[in-house]
């Protein structure tokens, strides 16, 4: 009887130890689960959200930098277009400014040593994209003076053609013994003509030369 009772106590002791171990294991698992769900998981989600936010901010910064580069490119293109338009305006102005044109031609002729006999505007001829504005001239001077005058005209920003040049009645200057020429010519400049798309205008289709 004593042996049987001792065995029962021993078995009961083993069972109690197992129960304690199981309880401790469950408690540890519960603590770990509580830590995971109450602390680790919220912190992990917060880190994920922060990473997503940083990624979004980085992408937004890249987009803003691209927009800034495009804006700077557009501004530079606009500035170049304005400079180009101003250059075209000086070459082919919309305003004919006949008095200013005649003053320039007259000043260049006198500076080149030519004596001006006649300077008279002729009716302009409107073509599709531009209008021809001729000025009839009669001058007297040496070959060198004429060459100097033509060179000076070619340096002007505005397009000016020297056409229908005729050299007449060469005579010798009694004082300088230089050969003087009477020249007639047509100094033709141009102005821009605003036309609607597809609109046709009278006159030839050739451009300024």
**Per-residue model confidence as pLDDT tens digits over 61-91:** 888 888 878 777 777 776 665 654 555 555 5
Q: What is the C-alpha separation between 46 and 179, in angstroms, rounded?
A: 99
Write down the residue that tokens 């047509």 correspond to. 186
Is the entire prediction scored with pTM above 0.85?
Answer: no
Total domains present in the chain: 2
Of the candidates 163, 118, 113, 164, the residue with the CA atom closest to the CA atom of residue 143: 113
64 within a domain of the structure (yes/no): yes
Q: Which residues pair with 162 in a beta bridge?
A: 187
205 within a domain of the structure (yes/no): no
33 within a domain of the structure (yes/no): yes
Residue ranges making up the domain that contains 8? 1-91
Q: What is the C-alpha separation between 94 and 91, in angstroms, rounded?
A: 10
58 within a domain of the structure (yes/no): yes
User: pLDDT for 13-53, tens place per residue?
Assistant: 457 777 777 777 787 787 777 767 666 677 777 777 788 78
The reply to whether 72 and 45 lie within a common domain is yes
Q: What is the pLDDT of residue 42?
A: 72
């Amino acid at each position: 009887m004593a042996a049987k009772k001792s065995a029962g106590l021993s078995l009961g002791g083993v069972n109690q130890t197992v129960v304690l171990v199981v309880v401790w294991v469950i408690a540890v698992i519960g603590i770990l689960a509580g830590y995971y769900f109450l602390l680790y998981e919220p912190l992990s989600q917060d880190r994920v959200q922060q990473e997503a936010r940083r990624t979004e901010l980085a992408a937004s910064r890249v987009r803003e930098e691209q927009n800034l580069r495009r804006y700077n490119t557009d501004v530079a293109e606009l500035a170049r277009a304005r400079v180009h338009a101003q250059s075209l305006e000086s070459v082919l102005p919309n305003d004919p400014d006949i008095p200013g044109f005649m003053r320039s031609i007259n000043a260049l002729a006198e500076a080149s040593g030519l004596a001006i006999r006649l300077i008279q505007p002729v009716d302009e001829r409107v073509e599709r994209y531009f209008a021809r504005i001729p000025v009839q001239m009669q001058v007297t001077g040496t070959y060198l003076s004429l060459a100097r005058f033509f060179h000076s005209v070619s340096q002007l920003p505005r397009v000016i053609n020297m056409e229908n040049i005729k050299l007449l009645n060469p005579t010798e200057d009694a004082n300088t013994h230089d050969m003087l020429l009477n020249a007639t010519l047509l100094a033709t400049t141009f102005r821009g003509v605003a036309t609607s798309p597809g609109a046709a205008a009278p006159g030839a289709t050739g451009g300024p030369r």
